[in-house]
Structure 1
Amino acid sequence: MGILKYFAEGDHNRKILKAAVGLVRSISEDNIPDGVTLIYDKRNKLYSLQIDQVEYVIKSFKVPIFVQRIVYTFIRPSKAIRSFRNSLRLYQLHIDNPQPIGAAIEYSGGLLSKSYYLSEKLDDTEDIRSLMDGSLHDPELLKMVVHFIVTLHLKGVLHIDLSPGNILKSNCVRGHFFLVDLNRMKFFDSPLNEEMSYQNLARISDSYEVTNLLAEYYAIERGFDPQHAIKRIQKYSDAFFSRKAFSFARRQLKKEGLKNVRFFIYKYRLTRCLRKLLGSQSLYQAERNLYFRYIKCGDIRGAILRTESYE
């Protein structure tokens, strides 16, 4: 066990933080304490737990690589500390997020090893993925989401990972939203400018049609030109999802049991590069075949399909 440092406002929150971190650190393959539930398990882990009849969520960040351990120890705050500080800053700006309790840092060998961020658990909320992928058609709710994002931008808040999984909507109060996953944020003393705002909306929707509406609503509320906003936001969104298509495809193909996935994706990218360089029709056909076999499953927005005219 390493050395722990706790960051919390007030003795009560510090006590709760210590208890929560203690519970998570006691977890092993054959021991999960009563009342602790794993609710998310990917790069980082999220646990829900109850202390003194109150529900909390604790985020356990994975151990960084060695270089990052040095950076987070001596140069910049860890993700947990940034989450805590950003949450407090958002509350000062009257932007709702799960009530912050505190952060804890574990050191091993003089360097950061693990870090934890604790907040109260939100009741009866869900993310806005269904709205942003078009499976839920609710223009009025979309306008409310846009208003929430405009509020962030006007207050100088840049949530770098502004994705549909990081905005939660209340199922009790329509139009009430919460911001989560707070470690990657920037704060400015003035509203975000037009181009920065458009860039920030790049990953909010993987639906071309929803992005059109969202861009129009956003432009109207900010007093920008709607057609220009649609063009710019669609451009940034296509660029983002084109880049992500390869990692999306890799994960999907691995689920399907395909071997040598990286090789086939690399082959597609090389073929596309050569085709653009040489202008070869035969390479175009080979590229197109590779796209439909290996890339299309990851091109969830159809950005590459449209850009390369594969249809």
Structure 2
Amino acid sequence: MRKETLLAIAADLRAGRAVELSADDFPCFSAEAAEADKRTSPEALARISAALTAEDACVFERAARAIDEHDLAWIGFKVVEDADAAVANVDNEVTKKYGDVGSADGRDLVFFCNDAKEAVAAREYSARDFFQMKDVTRGPSMHNDQFDGLTWTSVALFDPVKVWLLGASDVAVETAVLARHVGFVVEVVDDDASFLNEERFPDAKRTLIGSFDELAGMKADPEDYVCVVTRGHMHDPEGCVWASKQGVHYVGMMGCKGKNSRVHDLCLDAGMTEEQWEAVKRPIGLKFGAKTPAELAISIVAELVDVRYKQRYSQEARDKHDNGLW
């Protein structure tokens, strides 16, 4: 999401000009999203766009400021299918009580919400609405199927974390699928086109290099994660050295203790310090007996999710979240 796009939408609304929100900017209304829930279709986004007024400009302005502030924040949408059902829905005996009414009204709504539970919208919303507004920031909403007549969806105002998979191994194939499914952007690097191809990695960026020595000319960002999963472990030293020089947030490497000892020596010979070596998570992934490529991918991606959670939230925030679940 670009700040300039949000500010342009707000300016048009305040000037009384019609706006047309794009599924390119709000992919929660893409054709792909509609396959999972027909209520979140491009047609629904067109309907919401047509109903926006100058009063809604505050939502897009607050969203633009959140991007400047690097806030964990979202633009969300209440998408109404049946107005009467949306208003009539109330909490049942199992769920926590959020009031004696359902949605505040039977109209679509665009809103801003951040992880600090600040919400901005052009109209009043009910306690039930506020619960759903907060809930949808988990993306996708965990309670969408609980109430009839409406659904909720959102788009994040912060960039997804990028995961580098160094090596087009079978483990990398499985990891790429799972990592993308939980919201990471994936780039796979290898030196063999017979392994690094669209059939094995249809939804990841693929970077074919002549040799792993060419990693030295590539650039990663400090927020990126690197998984060293080269085929047969043959290029693990080059992967670890490159990731350490890039100063990425997380580096993990597969392998048994005996192999890692040899990689350790090769990495130090290539210029890594002992401190940098100790910062490499090895073996990569959460430990629960994973053996096959698919099982190892589950282990790896589970660890990536945990790392991302701890990167985004302070210990105080994590404790507050955990206590709130009970």
TM-score normalised to structure 2 length: 0.22
Q: Which has the higher contact order (CA 8 A, sep 6+)?
A: 1
Whose helix fraction is larger, Structure 1's or Structure 2's? Answer: 1
Higher strand share: 1
